[in-house]
Amino acid sequence: MVCRSAPMGAILYMLQDHDDKPAHECGVFGIVATDADVARLTFFGLYALQHRGQESAGIAVANGRTIRSHKAMGLVSQVFNEENLRPLAGHLAIGHTRYSTTGSSRLENAQPFVVESVLGPLAVGHNGNLTNAATLRQELLTRGVGLTGSSDSEVITQMLAGGEGRTWEEKFKVFMVRAQGAYCLTVLTRDALFAVRDPLGLHPICLGRLGERGWVVASESCALGTIGASFEREIEPGEILMITTEGPRTIAHMPAHKPAECLFEYIYFARPDSLLHGKALHAVRVAQGRELAREAPAEADVVIPVPDSATPAAIGYAQASGLPYSEGLIKNRYIGRTFIQPDDQLRQVGIALKFNALTDNLAGKRVVMIDDSIVRGNTSGPIVRLLREAGASEVHVRVSSPPIRHPCFLGVDMATYPELIAHRLTIPQICEHLGADSLAYLSLEGLIKASRHGDDTFCRGCFTGKYPVDIELVNKEIFELR
């Protein structure tokens, strides 16, 4: 397929629009350790999970009697300091770093949620989305339960705190029967840490060992190495794991008939040094790039990634195609961390706020530009233009995932139908919109083959519109509109 390069006008994107990716989810962390500063270890664990959410962060610590917590809006490094970590003393802790998928970005929705219950204090951190949250929330309100926020995570907390059951084990089982959708939970009581994964296993959570001192759970294995813990295993779909000073114990296992893991964990979300099903995701993404090269070759001189997330796929594409790999774009890795908005003149600079082109590597070259996904299409076009302005004679765009034609309702802020460019336009139309010479996506079959050697136990809702559960929730701010 060949498309003519289209002229583009002034680029008027706000800084936060430059990341044309599915928005992140949340990161959860938990630790039980003797003779250790669990709050400090949780801080560093959350630091390793910062890529999963940048809106708020929090830590709750239990000492066998009470739970103390601190949370605020901002990055982990902005929320915590020596002064507010010092009072968080105990031997059990959970931590959370948030991207809002249900409930807006405000302090009332920051986690962990901490409440009192008939069984004692309770703190909850949640990654995912309940698809029947509206029904469950209404049931709580009807029972007279007061809610201060607008997130499904608060609904989970109140369901556990006031739900049926005489023990925490019974309460978890009742919750898992009622709840639908995606949830990885770290739950803290006065003397135990619980890790819970939904029956479909939509998002990852794993168990690690901190030598002889204790045990750790985290959304991704990359957080384990940060604090010197070793990876033990993934927490299974439908598993309720209880951890005390005596060690971990599975108290229930309620898996679905067929798992449905999120494919975007393999494509983009999880850090490339994290392990899923025993494989480092860097190697999986390299394999995706190789498969893309076999499916969609291009006559070109060089392969470059859109940094940083597409780098492994670009390496794989170069390996399989025989084309040289090079860097064509340098990313300003800190521009997205500022809360200072650009003025009108800087907005017109557009994509150059985030990327600089390496002219010497591009001038006169036919370039294959590898990206891992295109959601709204509002950055790929400006990047193509940037490459042409740097001297590229042709720009062929290759994407290591299929077209995203449907939103996600299971813990990923994927954009709405009108915002999704692949929902509105055909591939030739997208190509023309981007101003590329050609455009091709990895097929769904190729993605599954590269990610798990054909073992198809994935959720593919954002690609096909077929979800593993019934969908009820359709707007992340639904509870604020009532």
Which contiguous run of DSSP H or E holds residue 451?
Answer: helix 444-452
Q: Are 440 and 296 in contact (CB under 8 A)?
A: yes
Task: Mark out the alpha helices in 163-257 (DSSP H runs).
Answer: 168-178, 222-226
Helix axes 281-295, 311-321, angle to 10 degrees: 50
Question: Does 26 qualify as catalytic in the annotation?
Answer: yes
User: Residue 78 contacts by C-beta under 8 Å, 6 or more apart in sequence?
Assistant: 72
Q: Residue 203: count other Cβ atoms within 10 Å of its Cβ.
A: 29
Is 3 known to sit in a ligand binding site?
A: no
Is 262 known to sit in a ligand binding site?
A: yes
User: Residue 107 contacts by C-beta under 8 Å, 6 or more apart in sequence?
Assistant: 56, 71, 72, 73
How far apart are alpha carbons 430 and 425 in whole angstroms? 6
- Count Cβ atoms within 10 A of the Cβ of residue 313 and give its class: 0-12 exposed, 13-18 middle, 19 or more buried: buried
Q: For residue 181, which phi and psi values (nearest 5 degrees)?
A: 115, -150
CA distances from 234 to 204, 206, 216, 268, 455 (A): 8, 4, 12, 19, 17
Tokens of 107: 């302090």
Is 462 known to sit in a ligand binding site?
A: yes
Residue with tokens 């340098």: 330
Is 104 known to sit in a ligand binding site?
A: no
CA distances from 98 to 50, 105, 185, 379 (A): 9, 9, 13, 24
Is 408 known to sit in a ligand binding site?
A: yes
- Residue in 26, 184, 206, 222 annotated catalytic: 26
Binding-site annotation: residue ranges? 262, 309, 371-372, 408, 459, 462
Binding-site annotation: residue ranges for Mg(2+)? 309, 371-372
Binding-site annotation: residue ranges for [4Fe-4S] cluster? 262, 408, 459, 462
**What is the set of active-site residues?**
26
